[in-house]
Structure 1
């Protein structure tokens, strides 16, 4: 079994969009990310408090969805150990700000890229912060999201994917939904002290390899409220929120970026899982049917919309 903390944290994701220019405008002008590089059909974007060179790779495509999710390991030895436990993957040479990486898939077919060597961001003069313990100056535009927070995958079989994360990657389950027939409908998994880094929820269409959403953390709840006004003024579709989740207690807002991918603004910064022997919280079907902790009822599209579209 992989060792606990072999994976340090979520590093970055590559998101596909059929409307590249509009999606780039959404992430830079409305979300407040900074473009640091452009290569071919891809733009490399970063939030202001992620220490690595980039947080999001936005790639032009004929469809939407997620191409890959990159996880940084805790050491070279951890990377080698993980690669040995996942024999179906393949090594990739160094590139795009990271060293040699190991590319594999979860049981549902989502691409997972594991790496250790990375390029720390060094701010140019125009982005230099006043505080030396902050990677970049606050951008002062749009929502100004602080960091990439988590990825929520859709999956045909949640339990199999959760087992891959726990057994092969060394993660652990913090919360889950178990239905009356004992099937697992959703699992929230983490690698460090954050309450979750990866989430798997059942894809009601029965398809594999799709995305539910990627999430960016804000400094405060007020940032999310301001974000709702920004999206309203710029004709960005607000799917649901702001509300508070019962599961993980996250304050949230969900929107669709112009390419069709669901994006979450979340504020989970105050909730950490410090117990090394944490016991997973299980929510029953009846408890989950109650919906959010407070706010409006969960809308139908939250269970049916995913990317790429079916």
Structure 2
């Protein structure tokens, strides 16, 4: 039976070997705002994100995922999830907190992705010159770059999609919305959410056989035209566009994939796909002979690197099986 103890994606920490260059990308191109700097980390948020931060950039030797943070639906829900995670054997333990939030319980997915769940958060308070008359928005729309509006989802690469999908379901209450199943019944992709969004987390088969790698973080624009606008900025500033704009069949997301200077993949899209309000939703299954339209509804095909590259990059360490 599904639980409703997880409310939403709270923030994501990413490692980058080029902190200042990555920071310039997220602030000058994507218009994100700096909430704070501490040590080797910078805390950022999009202008419609209500919390202190939704992205933590931390300097590291190589690109990759630091952790994914989920907010519980109540203090009691947090405690229920902690008790369940401890019994699962995937728990790490409590941390006192970080800038922008209180204590959090950390754990690993079966594939080794570090995650945490928390309740107490600090809400963003705009300075006087950034306060807006639009009361449902925490600040004025930024004047720099083509600003993204909010954090949307993460995509995690997995050696075993089914095992990780089951963990997200049983331990955190995520509902399966769509998935890809091959003719031999191997599950190679799953899109899951705890809200009406079609996904807050996607799980994708890692064809290199690696574990615990990061595929991408995604930010929502709202208007597809803004993808075209930001594409101009990306090209003129020598930032690589991997694919798009285009539209996926799975999730109906209108996408563009780019690489930030540190090497992490970032998805930008101008349509959140569809919303799910049906409490008895039956997961959509995409079969092997349907993948062409499932992966790309329209637009150019995704490059091979899209299915192989993740962070940390293991291309020089792993021989991909034919």
Answer whether TM exceeds 0.5 for this pair: yes
CA distance in 1, matches of 2:211, 2:5: 26
Q: 134-143 or 272-281, which moves further after superposition?
A: 134-143
Q: Secondary structure at the match of 1:175?
A: strand
After TM superposition, list the pairs within 5 Å mapping 1:156-305 onto structure 2.
Answer: 156-269=159-272, 271-290=274-293, 291-305=295-309
Q: Is the 8 A contact 2:160 2:205 kept in 1?
A: yes
Corresponding position: 1:55 with 2:54: yes
What is the distance in 2 between the residues matched to 1:292 and 1:80? 41
The reply to whether residue 76 of structure 1 matches residue 75 of structure 2 is yes
Structure 2: 5+ residue stretches without partners: 315-322
When the two structures are superposed, what TM-score results if normalisation uses the length of structure 1? 0.97
The range that moved more, 123-132 or 53-62, is 123-132
What is the aligned-residue RMSD (CA, Å)? Answer: 1.1
**Partners in 2 of 1:165 and 1:268 — Cα distance?**
25
The two structures have a TM-score, normalised by structure 2, of 0.94
Unaligned runs of 5+ in 1: none
Q: Is the Cα–Cα contact under 8 Å of residues 94 and 101 in structure 1 kept in the other structure? A: yes
SS at match of 1:4: coil
Count of residues paired in the alignment: 309
Q: 2:312 matched to which residue of 1?
A: 308
- Mapped to 2, the partners of 1:97 and 1:297 lie a distance apart of 40
Partner of 2:319: none
Contact 2:198-2:273 at 8 Å conserved across structures: no
How far is 1:270 from its partner? 5.5
Q: Are 1:154 and 1:211, in contact at CA under 8 Å, matched by a contact in 2?
A: yes
Supply the distance in 2 between the matched residues of 1:165 and 1:179 (Cα, whole angstroms).
Answer: 21
Cα distance, 1:92 vs structure 2: 1.2
Residue 225 of structure 1, CA deviation: 1.1
Q: CA offset at residue 143 of structure 1?
A: 2.0
Secondary structure at the aligned position of 1:5 is classed as coil
- Once residues 14 and 120 of structure 1 are traced to their aligned partners in structure 2, the CA distance between those partners, rounded to angstroms, is 18
Q: CA shift at 1:130, angstroms?
A: 2.1
Q: Does the 8 Å contact 1:4/1:191 carry over to 2?
A: no
